[in-house]
Amino acid sequence: MVNRAETTKGETIQDWIEARNPNQESGNKEFDDRSGIVHRLDKDTSGILVIAKNPESFEKLKAQFKGRTTLKKYLALVHGIVEPPVGTINAPIERSPFNRMHYGVFPGGREAITQYKVLHNFHFSIFNSQFSLLELCPHTGRTHQIRVHMKYLNHPVVSDPIYGGRKNSQNDLKWCPRLFLHATELQISHPETGEMLKLCSPLPGDLDKSLATLKMD
């Protein structure tokens, strides 16, 4: 969990930061309120997170995300065989009128674009199910964007408690303990030097172990 919220339980990244930098107010309200966290990851999504040490860097990094000059890559394991193996999802996302905690593809929603590429296909004999491991690049930063777009394609992310469907998610949790979504790569410009940085995070052990239970097609 990244930021504190009314629905958040337990320690967050924001709590972790503030415990190490107590009582330091910079005068930049947004920087202080977010404890320098430039962007967010969904709950249970692992991977790269950017935290600014000072307000100047915070503003420069935030502008990169807003201007869509960053490159973000995620790994996701989804249900089914995704066809075509390379594609772009361009479908607007908005908060659901039926459940304000959920999001979905709705006409008139905010622009949302996600590119994807299939890396491998898998088969799980226990449930006689097929899966696709995807590399995804979101070009916009909508809440739950990858998860909503994969549900829209009828290929929900494994162990997704919101968009995966009750039966799917219950079966998934028997062999994959959490949402199979990982922020694996981020390319940004250093806020002081302008140098291009490529930050990488390998698939964590719990997800790698879950993947090893599947048979590659």
Q: Choosing from 15, 32, 33, 42, which is the catalytic residue?
A: 42
What the block records as the tokens of 132 is 């696709």
Alpha carbons within 13 angstroms on the beta-carbon side of residue 179 total: 25
Phi/psi class of residue 98: alpha, beta or left (left: φ > 0; alpha: ψ in -120 to 50)? alpha
> Any bridge partners for residue 132, and if so which?
78, 121
> Annotated catalytic, 44?
no
What the block records as the tokens of 144 is 């739950």
Q: Which of 137, 146, 152 is nearest to 68 (CA)?
A: 137
Assess contact for 45 and 181: CB atoms under 8 A. Answer: yes
Q: How far from chain centre, in Å, is Cα 180? A: 10
The catalytic residue positions are: 42
